[in-house]
């Protein structure tokens, strides 16, 4: 099933022509309405009117997450706020994105493509266990599922026992969440001795964090479903950028809305098709928050071979990791330098610490190991306890993610690496 065959199955040369026209219009829009881009283009002596081929995009400067943060909150918006109908932000609130009514319309449509490619139709009952909050997952998928005409159950995250009860009682046929949460649900169902055969589940559409083929197999076997991977970037739109079809061999990129490049993360030179590098995205149709050559920091490669499903859009390989040190924890991005900066703010100076990421069960856990403060003696245990509780509270609320904090001997945090990621692929 293809949601929009006239776009998704468009001939390559027609698609390239459409992309070029859209790119010219997008560049003209940002040049006119966003001072940041105007300054950038002028500095590189780029005239948006003088783009003749899609390769000309390489003459434009990259946009990084830091550029977005420096223009917090509305500096990169290309329309006045009265035209913005929705605002989302990253968990730590450092980047803010907006959508016009048209943006919401195309977002819903692109998510409808994702759901349709993953098996969902208007006959399905879709349970959405992404957060309905500032992040783009919950609301992004929700509007797409309604657009298809499916029956949507907005359970949001957490309360696994209730998720399973709803799944059983409401006869959910499609589950949408992060792969690690799907795995937790699958494991809980098994622990409770529920036969997955009594569930009505057929499809699982998972995204928000990298996952392996082995995890896919485990979820499919335990829940008796077909599980597909989908990819989104909050700064670019949210879910709806790319998704697998039933072939499950690479994620189709919605190229009539996004121009993608893969570059060497060190030299930033373009890489030939098939080589793994950093994915860079230019939005072609976004009105409120267009981005030009946004460095996603996600590592992937592009596949140009035609897909048996009939879609002609290029596919990207499942994300293989990051080109920076950002950790993706239960779908939320956390950077170790941000943790260090917060610790410095709380304590007056950055204490010796180590960030440990583990996956004791299905879900990731982050623990910050901290050395005792210089001045404290061990008889002040109660004080240290209060200190740790205060740090844990502040980190968790600023990062939008629950973080454990433990006191350890100074030499053990000073000798180890700053970040210890113990998760298996």
Burial of 66 per CB tally in 10 Å (0-12, 13-18, 19+): exposed
2 scored as a contact of Zn ion (CB under 5 A): no
CA distances from residue 137 to 17, 43, 123, 140, 424 in whole angstroms, order as listed? 31, 36, 22, 5, 24
Q: Least CB distance from residue 247 to Zn ion, whole Å? A: 5
Question: 217 CB contacts (<8 Å, ≥6 apart)?
Answer: none
Q: Least CB distance from residue 308 to Zn ion, whole Å? A: 7
Q: Least CB distance from residue 242 to Zn ion, whole Å? A: 11
Q: Least CB distance from residue 221 to Zn ion, whole Å? A: 23
**Contacting residue, 245, 288, 316, 329, with Zn ion by CB under 5 A:** 245
With beta carbons less than 8 A apart as the criterion, state whether 320 and 210 touch. yes
Which C-beta is closer to Zn ion: that of 143 or that of 203? 203
Parallel, antiparallel or unpaired: strands 84-89 and 258-263: unpaired
Which C-beta is closer to Zn ion: that of 56 or that of 247? 247
Which C-beta is closer to Zn ion: that of 76 or that of 253? 253
Q: Least CB distance from residue 252 to Zn ion, whole Å? A: 6
Rounded-to-integer distance, Cα 20 and Cα 416, Å: 50
Q: Least CB distance from residue 94 to Zn ion, whole Å? A: 35
User: Interacting stretch for Zn ion, rule CB under 5 A, among 290-298, 304-312, 358-366, 391-399?
Assistant: 304-312
307 scored as a contact of Zn ion (CB under 5 A): yes
User: Interacting stretch for Zn ion, rule CB under 5 A, among 17-25, 189-197, 242-250, 377-385?
Assistant: 242-250
392 scored as a contact of Zn ion (CB under 5 A): no
Count of other CB atoms within 10 angstroms of residue 110: 28
Write down the residue that tokens 């061990």 correspond to.
Answer: 378
Torsion of CA 190, 196, 198, 202, to 10 degrees: 150
309 scored as a contact of Zn ion (CB under 5 A): yes
Count of other CB atoms within 10 angstroms of residue 305: 11
The binding track of 146-165 with respect to Zn ion, each residue x by CB under 5 A or -, is --------------------
Write down the residue that tokens 């029956």 correspond to.
Answer: 151
Burial of 388 per CB tally in 10 Å (0-12, 13-18, 19+): middle
User: Interacting stretch for Zn ion, rule CB under 5 A, among 45-53, 142-150, 240-248, 353-361?
Assistant: 240-248
Size of the site for Zn ion (CB under 5 A): 5
Q: Least CB distance from residue 288 to Zn ion, whole Å? A: 30
Cα–chain center distance at 156: 16
388 scored as a contact of Zn ion (CB under 5 A): no
Q: Which residues bind Zn ion (CB under 5 A)?
A: 245, 247, 307, 309, 311
């Amino acid at each position: 099933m293809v949601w929009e065959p006239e776009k998704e199955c468009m001939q390559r040369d027609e698609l390239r022509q459409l992309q070029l026209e859209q790119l010219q219009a997008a560049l003209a829009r940002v040049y006119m309405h966003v001072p940041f881009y105007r300054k950038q283009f002028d500095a590189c002596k780029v005239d948006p009117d003088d783009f003749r081929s899609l390769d000309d995009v390489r003459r434009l400067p990259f946009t990084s997450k830091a550029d977005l943060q420096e223009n917090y909150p509305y500096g990169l918006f290309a329309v006045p706020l009265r035209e913005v109908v929705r605002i989302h932000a990253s968990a730590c609130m450092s980047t803010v994105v907006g959508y016009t009514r048209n943006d919401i319309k195309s977002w819903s449509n692109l998510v409808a493509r994702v759901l349709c490619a993953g098996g969902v139709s208007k006959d399905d009952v879709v349970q959405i266990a992404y957060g309905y909050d500032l992040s783009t997952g919950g609301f992004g998928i929700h509007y797409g599922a309604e657009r298809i005409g499916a029956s949507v159950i907005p359970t949001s995250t957490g309360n696994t026992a209730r998720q399973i009860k709803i799944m059983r009682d409401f006869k959910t046929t499609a589950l949408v969440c992060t792969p690690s949460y799907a795995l937790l649900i699958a494991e809980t169902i098994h622990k409770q001795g529920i036969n997955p055969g009594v569930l009505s589940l057929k499809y699982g559409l998972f995204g928000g964090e990298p996952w392996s083929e082995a995890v896919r197999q485990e979820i499919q076997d335990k829940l008796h479903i077909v599980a597909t991977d989908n990819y989104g970037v909050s700064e670019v739109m949210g879910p709806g950028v790319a998704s697998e079809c039933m072939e499950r061999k690479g994620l189709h990129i919605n190229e009539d809305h996004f121009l993608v490049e893969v570059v060497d993360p060190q030299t930033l030179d373009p890489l030939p098709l098939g080589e793994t590098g950093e994915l860079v995205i230019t939005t072609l149709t976004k009105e409120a928050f267009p981005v030009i050559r946004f460095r996603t920091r996600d590592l992937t490669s592009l596949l140009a071979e035609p897909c048996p499903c009939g879609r002609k859009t290029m596919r990207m390989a499942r994300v293989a990791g990051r080109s920076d040190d950002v950790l993706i924890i239960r779908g939320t991005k956390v950077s170790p330098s941000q943790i260090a900066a917060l610790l410095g703010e709380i304590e007056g100076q950055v204490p010796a610490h180590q960030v440990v990421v583990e996956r004791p069960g299905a879900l990731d856990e982050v623990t910050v190991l901290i050395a005792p403060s210089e001045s404290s003696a061990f008889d002040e245990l109660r004080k240290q306890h209060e200190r740790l509780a205060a740090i844990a509270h502040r980190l968790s609320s600023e990062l939008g993610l629950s973080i454990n904090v433990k006191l350890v001997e100074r030499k053990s945090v000073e000798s180890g690496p700053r970040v210890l990621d113990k998760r298996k692929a």
